Structure 1
Amino acid sequence: MTALTLTNVNKSFGNVHVLRDINLEVEDGEFVVFVGPSGCGKSTLLRVIAGLEDVSSGEVSIGGEIVNTTPPSKRGIAMVFQSYALYPHLNVRNNMTLALKQEKQSKQVIDQRVAEATRMLNLEDYLDRYPSELSGGQRQRVAIGRAIVRHPKLFLFDEPLSNLDAALRMNTRLEIANLHQQLKTSMIYVTHDQSEAMTLADKIVVLRAGRVEQIGSPMELYNNPVNQFVAGFLGSPAMNFMPANLVSEGDARTLGVRPEDLFLSDQGQLKASVQHVEQLGGDTNVIAKVQDQQITARLFGQHEIKPGAELSFGIAEGKSFYFDKDGARLRG
């Protein structure tokens, strides 16, 4: 069953066209991530799905039912915000149960769902605490628990990890991935962090300026980007771009090579001057200049390379990407 279908969805604020002809299907149980730079429309699209913004044209269907005029509370969705949005005067238990009480659920159902959610999120010891007594990671888990107890058809996450430090982001990301495995419920997750997108998603939707650039699995987008924008957005360190005439002739304007596909070679086509070296233990990132273009090479293991060194890099066979003057991918 299809959990969500968007058909030719457009959204404008006055004369500003924010979303342009969005078409998307989210299958039952699928984890879909919206990713793109700030201002690309990903959070607006999530709010349109939730019913917090009206569509200007097109259709939003949840569970096979068109919900364009259905209020948010009746759409069968639960949303987790970046800001947690917890009630400061309510303890954890009451924050999690408030929506269920408003739905007039029985005490038995409420207790059962809270017990289930707190077990999944390891919140049993915090039910009587108030938000001010919790860490950022604990508050975010409460916000997720508040969504879980509603047993929604669709979970919506709006940059839920942005307020956490790096270690907590990784831990909470794992918790969300584990929750998805346990709940088997469709989830849509908005982020500007391509690492979150790559590690969480069954399917990634890359947005730019209100349009869908490409939809596919993380590895489909990583290995077969349709254009230079998608190629450069996914991957860390990012794909290197340089003039195509450094290595070939033809219609290509730009050559793209991922950092891990460069290797040291005395006969390498790319002559580089080292600017900086990042020793990461298991890997070494070499930042260098090829003519006037900065590139990054990701070398496996430890390498004693110093700034100012002159090196030659080869490109792994079959790992070159070529783009035309408009940024479109050229095959071959």
Structure 2
Amino acid sequence: MSGALTLTGVSKSFGKTEVIQDIDLTVEPGEFCVFVGPSGCGKSILLRMIAGLEDVTTGEVAMNGRRINELPPAKREIAMVFQSYALYPHLTVRGNMGLALKQAGEGRAAIAAATDRAAGMLSLQPLMERRPAELSGGQRQRVAIGRAIVRRPKLFLFDEPLSNLDAALRVATRIEIARLHRELGATMIYVTHDQIEAMTLADKIVVLRAGRIEQVGRPMDLYNDPDNIFVAGFIGSPQMNFLPGGLVGLSSAQVGIRPEHLTISAEAGQIAGRVSHVEKLGGETLTYVAAETPGLLTVRQFGEQDHRVDAPVWLTPDPRRILHFDAEGRRLRG
């Protein structure tokens, strides 16, 4: 059975320094929840508190309504996949995957069945007698995930599991994790600093900054309807453009516009500037325009576009897509 996780008033301090501040959060059974935020925001520490690897200073961590603050990690029915893989070099793939069950006193037949099942899900059957040194980074990460699956936990925790992989492997492993989530129907919490991973994997994203939750919501809700400038700027790649409201005839202190919601013209528009740089990515073109007041603005266009560097251009935002913010960066709605 998948686990429902509830955090109530959870805080963490190291001495006088509070690194996690009054977190209230519910992760529903079977949900894929992603913690995202810049380096140092507290997302990995929060994950370790859920796992029992860090003590909770104040507040409660509960699984399926049961307080687990005082339970050691091995008793929490939680499996964690680390960035570093954490495999035993002297054990084979089979030995690494089945170790937790062996330590729990499971019989050989049960261990073999569980490891074979996980190996089949992850296409690891040809590698079962190899040791970690004989595996690629992507294969090692699949073994680490398989070791977690074998335990049949109520909750899976992933701590930046793709950061050691190259770009192509990150995409492939990301797809694999999403497939496993669908097949297992398991509750998963995934930590990353990469908002693209967050957008593509999550049912629910938790955006953290300086130990606090800035916003919780579905990926496209955060993208289209952020609560503040921080969330608006962090979610989305390329980043949202920000400019003074007066520049486009609005009274807001500041407005935001996504790169795909700006049009570019050599003839007329609302914002004057010059082309600073052009990135042709095949399926899309990113044009960076230096405007006098807001600075560098990004325009995203479909397909291949030709814009000469240093050419004068005009930009016009889609008025239906402009987001308004007050002087403190809070979203103005309505």
Shorter-chain TM-score range: over 0.9
Distance in structure 2 (CA, Å) of the matches to 1:124 and 1:303: 47
The answer (yes or no) to whether the contact 1:50–1:72 under 8 Å persists in 2 is: yes
Which residue does the alignment assign to 1:273? 274
Between the aligned partners of 1:282 and 1:268, the Cα distance in structure 2 is 25
Q: Deviations over 1:264-314 (max 9, x none)?
A: 244421112100011112211100111141010001122211101111121
CA distance in 1, matches of 2:281, 2:138: 27
Alpha-carbon displacement from aligned partner over 1:30-58 (angstroms, at most 9, x marks no partner): 00000000000000000000000110110
Aligned to 2:142, what secondary structure does the other structure show?
helix
Identity of aligned residues (%): 60
**5+ residue gaps, structure 2:** none
Aligned to 1:153: 154
SS of the aligned residue for 1:238 comes to coil
**SS, match of residue 215 in structure 1:** strand
Structure 1: distance between partners of 2:62 and 2:147 = 24
The reply on whether 1:134 has 2:140 as its aligned counterpart is no
| Closer, same or farther: CA 198–86 of 1 in aligned 2, 3 Å | same
Number of the residue aligned with 2:310 = 308
SS in 2 for 1:232: helix
Deviation (angstroms), 1:83: 0.3
Give the aligned partner of residue 188 of structure 2. Answer: 187
Alpha-carbon shift at residue 72 of structure 1 (Å): 0.4
Aligned partners of 1:19 and 1:108: how far apart in 2?
Answer: 44
1:189-204 to structure 2, matched below 5 A, reads 189-204=190-205
Decide whether the 8 Å contact of 1:63 with 1:153 is kept in 2.
Answer: no
SS in 1 for 2:206: strand
Show the counterpart of 2:45: 44
> What amino acid sits opposite 1:175 in the alignment?
E
Any idea what the Cα deviations from partners look like across 1:71-108, whole Å, max 9, x if unmatched? 00000000000000000111100001110001111222
Q: How many Å separate the matches in 2 of 1:101 and 1:5? A: 30
Counterpart of 1:42 in structure 2: which amino acid? K
Query: Within 5 A, what are the aligned runs for 1:1-332?
Result: 3-250=4-251, 252-265=252-265, 266-292=267-293, 293-332=295-334
Q: Deviating runs (4+, > 4 A) in structure 1?
A: none
Query: What is the TM-score when the length of structure 1 is the normalising length?
Result: 0.98
Superposed CA deviations along residues 172-205 of structure 1, whole A, max 9, x for unmatched, are 0000000000000000000000000000000000
* Mapped contact 2:3–2:187 kept (Cα < 8 A): no
- Give a deviation string over 1:115-139, Cα, whole Å, max 9, x none: 1100010000001000000000000
Separation in 1 of the partners of 2:234 and 2:305?
27
Kindly state the Cα deviation for residue 218 of structure 1 after the two structures are TM-superposed: 0.0
Letter matched to residue 67 of structure 1: I
Note the C-alpha offset of 1:330: 1.1
Report the Cα distance in structure 2 between the residues aligned to 1:268 and 1:72, rounded to whole angstroms: 59
Structure 2: how far apart are the matches of 1:35 and 1:2?
21
Task: Give the CA RMSD over aligned residues.
Answer: 1.1
CA 84–2 in structure 1, closer or farther in 2 if over 3 Å, else same: closer
Of 9-18 and 313-322, deviating more is 313-322
Q: Which amino acid aligns with 1:300?
A: F
Q: TM-score, normalised by structure 2?
A: 0.97
Give the 3-state SS of the residue equivalent to 1:60 in structure 2.
strand
| CA distance in structure 1 between the aligned counterparts of 2:201 and 2:234, rounded to whole angstroms | 16
Q: Distance in 2 between matches of 1:2 and 1:271?
A: 54
Per the TM alignment, residue 2 of structure 1 is displaced from its structure 2 partner at its CA by: 6.1
The structural deviation recorded for 1:227 is 0.1
Alpha-carbon contact 2:93-2:131 (below 8 Å) kept? yes
CA contact (8 A) 1:2 1:25 kept: no
Separation in 2, partners of 1:268, 1:104? 72
Secondary structure class of the residue paired with 1:264: strand
Q: Find the aligned partners of 2:238 and 2:122 in 1 and give their Cα distance.
A: 32
More deviation in 63-72 or 188-197?
63-72
Give the residue type in structure 1 aligned to 2:254: T
Q: Post-superposition shift, 1:248?
A: 2.5
